[in-house]
Amino acid sequence: MAAQAKYVVIDPARGQSALRTTNRKLTLAPRNRHDWADDDDLEETTQSELPPPQKISNKDGSTTVIEYRYNEDGKKVKTTRRIRLITHRETVSPRVAERKQWAKFGASAKDGQGPAPDTTSVGENIIFRPSTNWRKDAKDETNDPNAQAMKDKLKDKKVKCRICNGEHFTARCPYKDTMAPIGEAGAAGDVAAGMPDEGPAGAPAAGGAGAGKKGSYVPPALRGGAGAGAGERMGGAGGKYGERDDLATLRVTNVSEMAEENELRDMFERFGRVTRVFLAKDRDTGLAKGFAFISFADRSDAVKACQKMDGYGFKHLILRVEFAKKAA
Amino acid sequence: MRPILLSGHERALTQVKYNADGDLIFSTAKDQIICAWFSHNGERLGTYAGHVGAIWTVDVDPTTTLLASGSADNTIKLWDVKSGKCLMTWEFPTAVKRVEFNEDGTKLLGVTEKRMGHLGTIVVLDIKVDVNAQQNEEKAMTIVCEESKATVAGWSYLSKYIIAGHEDGSVSQYDAKTGDQLANYSIHELNTPVTDLQWAPDRTYFITASKDKTAKIITANDLEVLKTFVADTPLNSATITPKKDFVILGGGQAAMDVTRTSARQGKFEARFYHKIFEEEIGRVRGHFGPLNTVAADPTGKGYCSGGEDGYVRVHHFDKGYFDFMYEVERERANRLRQEAEQAQKQEQKQQQ
């Protein structure tokens, strides 16, 4: 003879679901961590202006339960849950069936039927699929395509100093004290945008300056290689857009912290049409970082400006102007 | 699969155990309470209160009538599974680290700690599998472990041997009737304690877990090491899954290092190995502390693990688990099925 035990689980694919328990039912916590056990307490303590809970049966057999409650701030909260009940019938031995009817005792003596929410909860779904090469599978997971693309780009990239572009770390640079570090943000943007800069000395292409730091979050626009970052780097000095601009782009260093982009534009517009002014600014403080790029429409204007403006005093500092080095 | 989290304990779990039918789970922790749970939905049946020390171990007799527990309060207690009443208490000079019923539930062994001048012992108690019976207060037998204390012990098939794992990494075999030591072999690396010993369903072989990062399957008859499973972390527990030829290992960085390691590095995952091929086939994450104990459902439908984090996680396997087979296993299954079909056809022909 076999007795039948009945219990209920929820279709995990539905995700957002909770379940009022009756006899021996499995309760799944809803995704918003709302505990139905708290409902009753709250309803008792707050004035009952709440609309009555609604139950709507959906066509696909699930039920939508809409409940109202007050949260800690006294605000009315509407909770909508979609519940699907699936009854699993399982044949168990009479011994097991008998045990299912046992009265609870000890610390659980006062618990109602079904799992008590304070001792039993349901964890997040775990995908467990035994596999002979699970180790390889797991590794593939960690190497998301983004990180992989990054690695490929950095594969043949060597250590490069931000001051002199030599093959050492910036901290070890012999010119550390004599030269100001340049293009910090530019170099970072470089890496993020995947524009290797192998130039022997000088200008980092400041295309996506300040776009991101090494190894950090890369915005979608910059993912997947140089071509994709067009929006961010439009008119920049790098990538395929760089050809024209590089020839007519000046790098201005030793710019005052207080400088503004339009001030620079005014200064350089005297020599010809300026197509772009980029002033590197600190993301947090908003102060200028001390370098800027000025692109001219015409290279001859740029040559003129370079000659005239190098050594020009601007806000108590002497500007240094040179041609930006082309990104490799 | 969605694991069911049982949070009935406030401190680290020490042992979890299924009953013979796999419908109940008993869990012990260092918080002095034993909990009984329904395995299918995680509902708590009750608690067994009475110990006044950390509880190290629990076992249930094959008929799910009696529950035995061993505690750091130097006692073994016998409980009525159904009501939670304490039926009997045996006192010992030191803490009890492991209890186990034999196959018919008439004998109970207990492993006592070596402390305060007392040597570690394995005691055997006679049990009457009846809630109302007066239990025998006297110990039926005491085995003294003079060399290295026993950390775990269990009954072999037919209660023929008592097998014990020791603190120095050795495993020994005792005659269960006389208590004589029949064999003692260094199985695990020297001075790495054996942390768990669990039996195959027929009790002819068992699996040991050790801090030396390996688990081994050993025969009960001559303590021959059949299989070795190598992990990358100290192991606290190992169990053999029925129905499928897998073993589950649990371990992780020692508890005192937990705060210095992330969950990923800590390797707080249950590791599944193929029992025959000794290859790791998957991991189940979830705990945020080392796994102190794992137990497989005797029906083969799931397993549960208890962690240093105070949670018991009960898992019911998905279809993918049952479908998984090695290529050779699948071929063999196919061949056997074909042979069976042919045999059937021949039989039918003969009948005609």
Question: Is A296 contained in some domain?
Answer: yes
- Would you call A134 and B282 a contact, using CB atoms and an 8 Å cutoff? yes
Cβ–Cβ < 8 Å for A41, A60: no
CA dihedral A7→A13→A16→A21, nearest 10 degrees, is 0
Q: Is the dihedral of CA A123, A128, A134, A137 positive or negative?
A: negative
Q: Mean pLDDT across the stretch B265-293?
A: 87
Question: Is A158 contained in some domain?
Answer: yes
pLDDT at B312: 94
CA distance B347 to chain A (A): 32
Question: Is A218 contained in some domain?
Answer: no
Query: Domain count of chain A?
Result: 2
Which amino acid does the sequence have at A102? W
Q: What is the distance of C-alpha B199 from the center of its chain?
A: 7
As a whole-number percent, the residues of chain A with pLDDT over 70 amount to 57
Which residue among A122, A142, A175 closes a domain?
A: A175
- Would you call B41 and A28 a contact, using CB atoms and an 8 Å cutoff? no
**Cα–Cα separations (whole angstroms), residue B334 to B329, B338, B339:** 9, 6, 9
pLDDT at A206: 39
Which residue among A175, A200, A227 closes a domain?
A: A175
CATH 2.130.10.10 describes domain B4-317: yes
Residue B227: count other Cβ atoms within 10 Å of its Cβ.
Answer: 17
What distance in Å separates the CA atoms of residue B45 and residue B82, rounded to the nearest whole number? 9
Q: Write the residue in B84, B281, B320 that is nearest to A106 by C-beta.
A: B84
Please report residues of A whose CB lies closer than 8 A to that of B61. Answer: none
- Would you call A128 and B317 a contact, using CB atoms and an 8 Å cutoff? yes
Domain, as residue range, for A262: 249-323
What distance in Å separates the CA atoms of residue A240 and residue B49, rounded to the nearest whole number? 75
Rounded (5°) CA angle B26-B32-B36 = 20
Question: Which residue in B135, B153, B137 sits closest to B90, CA to CA?
Answer: B137
Lowest mean pLDDT among B236-240, B251-255, B262-266, B320-324: B262-266
- Is pLDDT larger for residue A283 or for residue B132? B132
Question: Is A181 contained in some domain?
Answer: no
Question: Is A6 contained in some domain?
Answer: no
pLDDT class of A188 with cuts at 50, 70, 90: very low
Q: List the 108-137 stretch of A: residues with Cβ below 8 A of B.
A: 108-109, 111, 114-116, 118-126, 128-132, 134-135
Give residue-wise pLDDT tens across range B297-313.
999 999 999 998 899 99
- Would you call A28 and B3 a contact, using CB atoms and an 8 Å cutoff? no
What distance in Å separates the CA atoms of residue B173 and residue B68, rounded to the nearest whole number? 23
- Would you call B45 and A104 a contact, using CB atoms and an 8 Å cutoff? yes
Question: Is A273 contained in some domain?
Answer: yes
Please report residues of A whose CB lies closer than 8 A to that of B40. Answer: 5, 7, 26, 90
Lowest mean pLDDT among A184-188, A313-317, B38-42: A184-188
pLDDT class of A194 with cuts at 50, 70, 90: very low
pLDDT class of A245 with cuts at 50, 70, 90: low
Q: Judge whether residue B69 has pLDDT over 80.
A: yes
Question: Is A263 contained in some domain?
Answer: yes
Which residue among A123, A154, A175 closes a domain?
A: A175
**Cα–Cα separations (whole angstroms), residue A198 to A151, A161, A205:** 17, 11, 11
What distance in Å separates the CA atoms of residue B170 and residue B163, rounded to the nearest whole number? 11
Question: Is A104 contained in some domain?
Answer: no
What ipTM was estimated for this complex?
A: 0.77
- The H-assigned helical ranges of chain B are 263-266, 319-323, 327-351
- Would you call B2 and A134 a contact, using CB atoms and an 8 Å cutoff? no
pLDDT class of A154 with cuts at 50, 70, 90: low
Q: Judge whether residue B16 has pLDDT over 90.
A: yes
Please state whether beta strands B235-240 and B246-251 pair in parallel, antiparallel, or not at all (unpaired). Answer: antiparallel
pLDDT at A54: 81
- Residues constituting chain B: 352
Q: Is A18 on the interface with B (CB under 8 A)?
A: no
CA distance B326 to chain A (A): 8
Lowest mean pLDDT among A107-111, A197-201, B113-117: A197-201
